[in-house]
Structure 1
Amino acid sequence: MSDLPDDRRLLHRVAEAHGIQVSYQGHDGLRHTVSDETLVAVLAALDCPVDPADPESLHQAEAQRRLVPWRQVLPPTVITRAGTTSSVSVHVPHGTAVTVTAVLENGDRWPLDQLEDFTAPVEVDGTLTGQATFRLPAELPLGWHTLEAVVGHDVDGRTDADPALGSAHQATLITTPERITTADTYAQRRGWGLALQLYSTRSTRSWGIGDLADLADLAAQTAEQGGDFVLSNPLHASVPAPPVVASPYSPSTRRFVHPLYLRIEDIPELAHLGPADRQRVEDLAVHQRFANTRTGSLDRDAAYADKLVALRLIHGVQLSPARRSAYRAYREAEGSGLADFALWCALRTVFDPVHPVWSDPELVPGGATAERYRAELAEEIEFHTWLQWLCDQQLEAAQRTAVTAGMRMGIMQDLAVGADRNNADGWMLQDLLVPTMSVGAPPDMYNQLGQDWSQSPWHPIRLAETGYRAYRDMLRTVLRHAGGIRVDHVLGLFRLWWLPVGGSPTDGAYVTYDHEAMIGVLALEAERAGAVVVGEDLGTFEPWVQDYLASRGLLGTSILWFEQRDGVPLPPEQYRRQCLAAVNTHDLPPTAGYLAGVHLVLRERLGLLAGSAEAERERADREIGVYLQAAQQEGFLPHGSLQDLLELAERDPDRIVEALYRYLAQAPSVLQAVALVDAVGEVRIQNQPGTQQHQYPNWEVPLADRQGAPVLVDRLDEVPGFARLLHAVDDQLRQPSAG
């Protein structure tokens, strides 16, 4: 930065003061400087408009940023760790007395001791302002507390005569765990589980799409083989009626669940429908069950449309007193967040996304127009509220089934990075999100033009100003019936790639978040829920991030094909202990497909290969070959040449898949995920990064075996590879690891 002109150095200082990283290290290993235009746009999105051609505006912005804490008696949110002494600084007119009390969530009051603080007073808006510092004791219990500062009193506690003094100020105080303890049991005995895409995993009773009852059945079958968890794709809600977005990683909201996953027959009120309505539901079920044997693209829209017809019929049945009480308790627990989401659903079933009604400035939660529609659409709102209760109940049943079957963890939920910016979260949380910015990723070796995920980022300042409550509430809902949570792109809790809406992903910048708060809130809610946290920490990041996550008790992620150095596989004993290890991910082909190069064939057909098809195949063969030789050296494959191993992969891919999983199980990693697609011999890709739906049916591929025959949940015992691979992993993990 020292070589930059003065005005650019000043712009960079202002950006850095607002948490914007002015440069980043790309996948090419080089340092890239963010353009001035991007910095100005991101600053404006953070409520700091500047003119880079006007040094005075930059100086003023820098000065105003420095004064932010001095203008606040208390910081809006204070994060501390249980067992660790820390402090909080308050700012009051110089010479004015102040006391600070921690009011615990149970109502107890803890007066805080004032510490010596020789910070010089600062002139703030014409008032000489001093700083006082108070000790936050290590004994503070975990929880959501309140800091209360009373300014302007004498030693007897009486208020001064000046009416401007004697005021009380409050802030959120969050005491988080030093580290999560929920994964500790797996350090004593390693665990494994099944990873799957639930929508693709159907049974004879499904309505063309895998559902929560299928999830429960998969958990029970996995538990029988010794597994501890089932990791599903995100179950987040989409739009309230078809057509829906295929990708589970582009939801409408992350807090609530997609009713598409409901098992209609498990709703108790179905039994009380009249004969005609009952027959109507049965006819819909029969129609959709025919789709369970089709292996072409899934038809979410048809399945969802028929389920909604059935659900509206069932909604007309009066709840029993016990069910009515449970429903009322659920609504009270979810509060205004559920009420606003149901209102959004009702509005979306009446108005399309581009209807002029959405431009009404009063159509915000609590606004006059919104409240008018809340009354007018009460019946529709009630329907969508009821749907979420049913989802909650069926998730609870799935988790109960998993634990009862012997799993130590049960259901592991998958948390997407964000929600589509034009849908529910964007409307409900608009004061906390940045609508002019989109989240994505800078260019990398797989996406040379970068990525735009069309999701609005959290506003870091407003999150703190509101005590991180929206983030907390979302986590609480997701964790309610989960034994674990996988956080997609966990690095986003440290920094996110922001790009102006409508701009190129190459013209973005990383904006940092208070990771102590973001990780701390996640740790607190997970510890209270008894849930293991797995962070997907793949990609470009600074080395200290993984160390920080490990120190807080979060597990990382290690993928077999990515664990290499200069083309040489990392020996299993050198894998991280505190992580979830897997052979592949949903963004890679199933292992049998990877061995066969199905992704290369697809990328060649779509013109996505960086080099010639022959060169890419040779590179892939080399990569696969070194891993097969590594498994061979560990004794999991027969002796022979590299060519012999590659020929074996063509003749008997199941043997290779099992060998790679046994090889991976040599790592000390406390958890291992077994991909369901690998256990049944599927070769087709679930998601091909860098493609659109018109190019490839991403997230629409139903589960099938190597011959292309459909694989159903209640007939998994007919698939010989399923029990064999699960038994192999369980057997290997019960042996001492190399670490």
Structure 2
Amino acid sequence: MQELHALAQAIGLQRIWWDVDGREHVISDASLRAIAAALGYPAETAAQTTASLARVEFEDAEPPAMLVTEVGSETHLPKALANAEITLPDGSAKRLDTASWTLPPIDTPGYYPVSVNGHAFTLAVAPRSCPTLASLGKERIWGPAVQIPALRGKRAHPFGNFAELAEAVDLFAGKGADALAINPVHALFAGYGRDFSPYSPSSRLYLNGAMGDPALVGLPPLPDDPQGDGPLIDWEEALPRRLEQLRATFAGLDEPTRARIARDNAAQGEGLIRQAIYDAIDVRLRAEGAAGWQQWPPELRDPDGEAVAAFARDNAAEVEFHLFTQWLARESLALVQHRARTAGMAVGLLADLAVGVHTGGADAWSMGDVLLQGLTIGAPPDPLGPLGQNWMLTGFSPRGLARSGYAPWIATIRAALSTAGALRIDHAFGLARLWVVPEGQPSSAGAYLHYPFADLVRLVTLEAHLAGALIVAEDLGTMPHGFGPAITGHGMLGMRVLWFERAADDGFIGAADYDPQAVAMTGTHDTATVAGWWSGRDLQWAQQLSRLPDGTTMEQAEARRAWDRGLLWASLTHDSAVRPRPEDTAPVVQAALRHIGSTPCDLAIVPLEDLLAEPEQPNLPGTIAEHPNWRRRLDAPLSQLLDDPATADRVSTLDEARKAGATP
């Protein structure tokens, strides 16, 4: 087994890992073989393992497509580039010792073409730090986090889109917010109402076409659509209907507008055309029962094949329609960000980058072995989830990224920052390692796969510098070794969520003890709202769905919550007021907003649900149909809700707490 373990180490598989309680876990040889094979390194027999080790050695000796460094630093050349020999007078050749050969420091961040020994590659030079609030001339700013589909505007629609987001930007800018965090707006499956989670996209390079709004870009508005305009979004009805409404808009475009769209789209390159072709094929074949490109006819599974080119030619109008929806979404979102900055927001939109993509989606179809094939990503078993998690997503292949010169990763970050002033990287630990699971296997059959962390972090830093944007790295959970110092050292903001900021005695830490280089939050889309936690609504859901911890009764859970309420209230108020009853949530929400607003954190983000004192959360992790994930809508248009005196008072509390600690 020694060769198998050596192979695992060579390809970045972590054979031994430790959970949050410090317990050691050893990955089985069977799992190592299955994952290695999926990565392209068969190891079922000793001969295969030996051959795979030889292949890894050969690949590691290949000249790189990109070297990543930082400003002011010499860059050591890898052995594949630093090879030279001298011809002596007698005609013999002698290899020179080039182990210390370096490229000189460069002081300006950017991408530089380089040629060494006849090999051309790119040198990426990152700054030492991402932009910071101080570099933007701001401090202690705040903003809400909104689920765009939940928003309502003046007109009846079954879900909110970028028009309602534009209104939200205007409203919150007027109340002192400098940022507005949004759910991921990556491309989903066009017109398909089942895979609607924003964290399970078809592509992270392109946008959800259903979010575009014609009126924002000067086209006739979408028709009023009161059908399904209820408290929960019926995605299965709403998305196909929205696709048909957009088809009607497209059919009514005049020639000058079509020419403008074509010019704008031309700047996006061939990737956009490939996305439109994918959507055109997917819409056609889903109607025939094919769920994802793996179920397409074999000749259509190759994006570079003649069959795909023939489909695009034969269905040119359909491809043009999907190019239009991408243009509409891109232009709409860009206008929202422009409005945010024009209204005085220092940051504007804080976009969200999902950790991976759907295995049957456009990125998985078009990127080939740059993405993991035959593997999905998730989380290992732990005390809170004994079975682990399999998110049924795929992500980048570490070696595929290196072969491509990191081009897909750079494009992904650049796409997200093209219409935003900041970016949150979901499950940012994935920059260092991801839990990968052989397709069709339980999460327990997985292992950690390591990524070129230093390179990926530097490239994010470079792209943030070029875009002038902030970076938020979601760092909740068991942190890989060295992750925290690397992230903070590059000027990225961590996340500090009220529920997880506990002291050694299990109490909640004081506001002054929060990390300044972080985002302070009352909660996330995956946690209970303040009102929901205080009232025990999350416990009710846990009991209803049989999700209480093993061996814990509802009475025991409620008793523990009663104790925790005392700890929270003491931290929020310093024992200066009588603790409210569980059903009296309003003063607790107010105190939590003041608490988060008073932290020294650069940025405070509060879910809109907490500003509205709502008891229900947008998403309950680990559920699909059992809880209405990503389906809840606001009770009324946002403008009406923010005019409510209680809500207005909560927003003012947060704004005043932020300003109170700022430098005059």
TM-score tier by shorter-chain length is: over 0.9
> Structure 2 vs 1, CA of residues 537 and 92 (structure 1 numbering), >3 Å: closer, same or farther?
closer
Correspondent of 1:314 among 228, 242, 249: 249
Over the aligned positions, Cα root-mean-square deviation in angstroms equals 2.4
Which residue is equivalent to 2:558? Answer: 617
2:91 paired residue number: none
Number of equivalences: 650
Distance 2:383 2:39 in 1: 30
- How do 1:50-449 residues align onto structure 2 when only pairs under 5 Å count? 50-51=43-44, 54=46, 57-59=48-50, 61-70=52-61, 72=62, 74-91=63-80, 96=85, 134-139=101-106, 141-150=108-117, 168-185=118-135, 188-270=138-220, 282=223, 285=224, 288-289=225-226, 291-292=228-229, 294-295=230-231, 297-319=232-254, 321=256, 323-324=257-258, 326-352=260-286, 353-354=290-291, 358-361=296-299, 363-449=301-387
2: CA distance, partners of 1:258 / 1:75: 35
Farther-moved stretch of structure 1 (355-364 vs 531-540): 355-364
For 1:570-581, what aligned pairs fall within 5 Å after superposition? 570-581=509-520
Whether 2:27 is the aligned partner of 1:38: answer no
Q: Partners in 2 of 1:412 and 1:319 — Cα distance?
A: 34
Contact 1:187 1:670 in 2 (8 A): no
* Match runs of 1:523-542 below 5 Å: 523-542=461-480
Task: Say if 1:92 and 1:130, in contact at 8 Å, map to a contact too.
Answer: no
Aligned mates of 1:291, 1:559 — CA distance in 2:
34
Q: CA deviation at 1:258?
A: 1.1
Taking the aligned partners of 1:363 and 1:63, their CA distance within structure 2 comes to 31
How far is 1:187 from its partner?
A: 8.0
Q: Secondary structure at the match of 1:558?
A: strand
2:428 is equivalent to residue 481 of structure 1: no
Unaligned runs of 5+ in 1: 1-6, 99-120, 122-127, 151-167, 272-280, 704-709
Distance across 2 between alignment mates of 1:186 and 1:464: 33
Q: CA deviation at 1:413?
A: 0.8
2:85–2:96 contact (8 Å) kept in structure 1: no
CA gap 1:201/1:131 in 2 versus in 1, 3 angstroms: same
Distance 1:318 1:93, change over 3 A: closer
In 2, distance between residues paired with 1:713 and 1:306? 24
Tell me by how many angstroms 1:230 deviates.
0.7
> How many angstroms does 1:206 deviate by?
4.6
Tell me which residue corresponds to 1:18.
11
Q: Distance in 1 between matches of 2:129 and 2:528?
A: 35
Aligned to 2:436: 498
Q: 1:542 to 1:477 in 2, by over 3 A?
A: closer
Query: Which TM-score applies when normalising by structure 1?
Result: 0.83
1:521 equivalent to 2:459? Answer yes
d(CA) in 1 for partners of 2:301 and 2:294? Answer: 11
CA contact 1:206–1:263 (8 Å) conserved in 2: no
**Cα pair 2:41 2:49 within 8 Å, conserved:** no
Displacement after TM superposition at 1:266 (Å): 3.3
| Contact 1:558–1:580 (CA under 8 A) maintained in structure 2 | yes
1:131 Cα deviation from its structure 2 partner: 5.2
- Stretches of structure 2 that go unaligned for 5 or more consecutive residues are 88-93
What's the counterpart of residue 675 of structure 1? 607
How much has 1:79 moved relative to structure 2? 0.6
User: Which residue number in structure 2 is paired with residue 3 of structure 1?
Assistant: none
Of 566, 569, 583, the match for 1:628: 569
Q: Partner of 1:311: helix, strand, or coil?
A: helix
Instruction: Provide Cα deviations, 1:570-616, integer angstroms capped at 9, x if missing partner.
Output: 23222211111101111112211111111111111111111111111
Return the alpha-carbon distance in structure 2 between the equivalents of residues 24 and 92 of structure 1.
34
**How far off is 1:357 after superposition?**
7.0
Match of 1:49 in 2: 42
Aligned residue for 2:350, secondary structure, equals strand
Change (3 A) 1:549 1:94: closer
Q: Deviations over 1:38-92 (max 9, x none)?
A: 11112112221113x63x654554455344333x2x2222111122222213437
Q: CA deviation at 1:400?
A: 1.3
CA shift digits 1:460-497 (9 cap, x unpaired): 11111111112222222221110111111011111100
Q: Which amino acid aligns with 1:78?
A: L
- Provide the C-alpha distance between the structure 2 equivalents of 1:453 and 1:169, rounded to a whole number of angstroms: 40
Q: 1:448 to 1:569 in 2, by over 3 A?
A: same
In structure 1, the residue corresponding to 2:542 is in which secondary structure? helix
Which of residues 510, 518, 521 in structure 2 aligns to 1:582?
Answer: 521
Tell me, in whole angstroms, the C-alpha distance in 1 between the residues paired with 2:649 and 2:260.
42
Shift in Å, 1:144: 2.2
Aligned-pair CA distance for 1:263: 2.6
Residues 76 and 464 in structure 1, CA contact (< 8 A), matched pair in contact too: yes
Paired AA for residue 254 in structure 1:
R
The structural deviation recorded for 1:364 is 1.8
Provide the rounded CA distance (Å) in 2 between the counterparts of 1:310 and 1:502: 38
Q: 1:601 to 1:129 in 2, by over 3 A?
A: farther
Distance 2:240 2:300 in 1: 31
**How much has 1:381 moved relative to structure 2?**
0.5
Q: Secondary structure at the match of 1:28?
A: coil
Q: State the AA in 1 paired with 2:140.
A: R
Q: Does 1:650 align with 2:583?
A: yes
Distance 2:183 2:189 in 1: 17
Q: Distance in 1 between matches of 2:66 and 2:123?
A: 6
CA contact (8 A) 1:191 1:671 kept: yes
Contact 1:538–1:557 (Cα < 8 Å) also in 2: yes
- 2:640 pairs, out of 715, 721, 726, with 715
**Aligned-partner Cα distance in 2 for 1:259–1:181:** 30
Shift of 1:621: 2.0
**Corresponding position of 1:464:** 402
The TM-score, its normalising length taken from structure 2, stands at 0.93
Cα separation, partners in 2 of 1:657 and 1:538, compared to 1, 3 Å: same
Work out which of the residue numbers 650, 654, 657 in structure 2 matches 1:725. 650
Secondary structure in 1 aligned to 2:560? helix
**What secondary structure is seen at the aligned counterpart in 1 of 2:394?**
coil
Q: CA deviation at 1:542?
A: 2.8
Aligned CA distance change for structure 1 residues 572 and 12 (closer, same or farther; 3 Å): farther
CA contact (8 A) 2:112 2:123 kept: yes
Structure 2 distance, partners of 1:225, 1:400, is 18
Q: Distance in 1 between matches of 2:282 and 2:115?
A: 42
Report the more deviating stretch, 522-531 or 492-501.
522-531
1:391 aligned partner, one-letter code: A
